[in-house]
Amino acid sequence: MRIDGPALIVRIYIGEADHRDGKPLYQAIVAFLRERGIAGATVFRGIEGFGANARLHTTRLLRLSEDLPIVIEVVDAEDRLRAILPELDAMVGDGLITLETVEVVAYRGTGPAPTA
């Protein structure tokens, strides 16, 4: 797969405690993206944050949380990402999904992606 020039980045903001079909939601989303052949995704675990309900999730010692913020960043061509947005939206209950235009300068790999 090759992408260069204009593309989209999708950011999905969820919580570590969010689950789907018995596994963490971020794992379900990454698996879905791989199955759909999306160019790539990265999951980030936050140390502190809050969302629509304004409840603070933090790693601070006095307020240990088992529901830390998770951000999944996904980059690919606009048409490919817009095609899967309805399914991503259905997967994310409480959370936030954003889109941003980016310019891909380089996208390289060292060989074929591993299967499974």
Render pLDDT for 16-26 as a digit per residue (tens, 0 to 9).
989 999 999 99
- Helical spans, DSSP H, in the chain: 25-35, 78-91
pLDDT digits (tens, 9 = 90+) for 102-111: 999 988 877 6
Helix/strand/coil for 73: strand
Residues with Cβ within 8 Å of 35's Cβ and at least 6 positions away in sequence, in order, are none
- % of the chain surpassing 90 pLDDT: 61
Q: What is the pLDDT of residue 92?
A: 95
Q: Report the range of poorest mean pLDDT among 12-26, 28-42, 99-113.
A: 99-113
Alpha-carbon distance of 80 to 99, in angstroms, equals 13
Task: Write down the H helix ranges in 4-106.
Answer: 25-35, 78-91
